[in-house]
Structures are given as structure tokens and as C-alpha cells.
A = this chain, B = another copy of it.
Amino acid sequence: MGEFELIRRHFARPVRRATLGGGDDCALLTPSPGMQLAISSDMLVEGRHFLPTVDPRKLGHKALAVNLSDLAACGARPLAFTLALALPQADEDFLGPFAQGLYALADAHGCELVGGDTTRGPLNICITVFGEVPSGAALLRSGASAGDDLYVSGSLGDARLALEVFRGRLSVPHGVFEAARARMEQPTPRVALGQALRGLATSAIDISDGLLGDLGHVLRASGVGACIDTTIAINLIATQPDWTGAEATFDTETRLGLVLAGGDDYELAFTAPAASRAAVQAAAQAAGTPVTRIGRIEAQPGVRLVGAGGQLIERRYASFDHFARV
């Protein structure tokens, strides 16, 4: 099967929102008046962002999810995306379910495929996503102020737990693993929450490289620091309730490490004035996404972790750096 036939079979669907979709040299998008276009691009590589054993359907989901997560962090509404795909061979068994997983998530967010590229090469998935946000309303990394509350959405650390089990460094009961694995393989981009936080959050970022690492970007961009309550943060790992039988394997240190520096979470970390607490919870409820207040923004640069009774604890967690990690 030739390249063009391959593309046609799996990725040619009529576009609704775009003026012109895949099949011409460019896609054409007509932005709504008063809107800015938010753009993000992520590249997924086998062995780094997903395991060779991954179900192609889940990979299709994840490849788009990590991009939608960037739109969410800006408070943008998804519009469209392009897909560039390098494949070792034109593999029907891969492409069919990959396209299904991709389209299922795209359709759920009204985000349509408008173009792209397919070529032969080591498996590589590059998606560029487009969203719109009212001019000046985008959530940025640079708006946090001392005194703001610090929040995260959903749960943290589960994806990294699954990875560590895959690597043989941790072991958990099968049911726990499956739940964690679902978080790793099919993250939920917090698109509704991001939009609900427009006008409320003073800064936001999506957590892809671990909370501490990504929070660091916000703090540096905003010229502030933060204090995190680890007695709250440690409960952010969703699979915790099932850990009883395996408790011995996971000391507090490990659990906190997964939460603070796990990576691959695709939750939002954001800040909002303390006066907006009720409004933030209402926005979270409207978006159907739980949020947890885990600390506050402070004038002093850096991150401070406090334990029970508010005492400062010293720990260093590396952020998830694709070029530093072994």
C-alpha cells in the first residue's frame, strides 16, 4: 500500500471547522474575531514517551492528549491539529487502532485533523495543536504573585508508578498496576478546567515533567517561589487507596517522589488569589475536575516543602529531563 493510500484510508475525513483540511498543500483556518490562536507541538518517540508494547489505540489517545494538555494550560478551546507520523512500515494493524484512539479523543474535544505528513522512519509521532482563546485571556506561566494559592488538578504520580513497575523497580498488586497504567497510557487533558480557570487563575502550566520541575518554570517566569504542604501532596497519588497490601514496598519518600517528580501526569498546576478560593472550586466543579490546594506562592524564590506541623523538609527531586535522564 502506497503512502497516499495509507493516509487516505486512515486519516482522510471531511473537516467541519477548517475551511480546508488535509489534501491540499496547507490547511486553512479562519480564526474567530477577537480570538488569539494558541499553538503547541509535541513529539512522541518510542522508548521515551511510550513503550513498544503499548496498545496503538492508547497511543493515538496519548499523542493527542499531551498536546490538548498544553491548550488546557493556556485556557484555550481546541480547534484543530496536524499529525506528522514516521512509521517503520505501513502497518495496518498499527494504523487502524492508532487512528481510532486519536479520533475518539479528538471528537470528544471537537478538535479536527486538518493536515500532516506520513513518512517511513523510526516510529515518531508529532502533533501540532491549535486552539483559540479570547485575546489577552490566555493563562500564562508568568502571572503568579506572592500570596496566591497553589493548586493541582486530579492526581499525580500514578503514571510514574506504572513506569517504575514496568522497569521492575517497584511492584504492586495487579489491580493497582492496571489503574496506574491507564493513567500512564491514557492521560486526561484538563481542557474544560483550563477554560473554566480563565479570569481566575493567575498562572498555569501542565505537568508533563513532574510537579516540581514544571512548577519551577512558573516560579521563574513569575519571579516568585512556592511552599508546598507535603502532607496534602502525598495524597495526590490516585492509586494510594489500594496500596495497603504493598505498603512495605512504598515508603513515604518514594510516594512523595512519585507525586512531586513523577512526570507524565498531564494535570494542571495553577495559582489563584486566596480571595478566589470559592470561585476556583466552583470552576473545578463546573469542569468536572477535582482540584487540590497544595500550597502557596511566596516572594522568596525556590520551592520549600513543609511536613506535618509545618516544619521545613529537605529533599531534592530531579525534574523529568528527556536529555538528562538515563
Contacts and interface: CB of A to CB of B under 8 A. Distances in A.
Contact of A48 (B120, B128, B321): B120
Interface in A73-90: 73-74, 76, 80, 82-86, 89-90
Interface stretch (A19-27, A54-62, A164-172, A287-295): A19-27
A36 B80 CA distance: 14
A111 to B, nearest CB: 14
A103 to B, nearest CB: 18
Nearest to A39: B27
Nearest to A46: B121
Contacts of A74: 24-26, 28
Contacts of A128: 39, 41, 82, 84, 128
Contact of A126 (B29, B43, B204): B43
Interface string A300-326: 000000000000000000000111100
A35 to B, nearest CB: 8
Contact of A323 (B45, B90, B133, B324): B90
A45 B321 contact: no
B86 A45 contact: yes
Contacts of A73: 25-26
A53 interface: no
A43 B324 contact: no
A114 interface: yes
B124 A122 contact: yes
A262 interface: no
A40 B20 contact: no
A118 B19 CA distance: 31
Contacts of A46: 121
B39 A1 contact: no
Interface stretch (A135-143, A150-158, A240-248, A253-261): A135-143
Contacts of A119: 43, 45, 48-49, 322-323
A206 interface: yes
A37 B30 CA distance: 6
- 7 tightest A-B contacts by CB? A45-B121, A126-B126, A25-B73, A43-B84, A26-B38, A122-B122, A128-B128
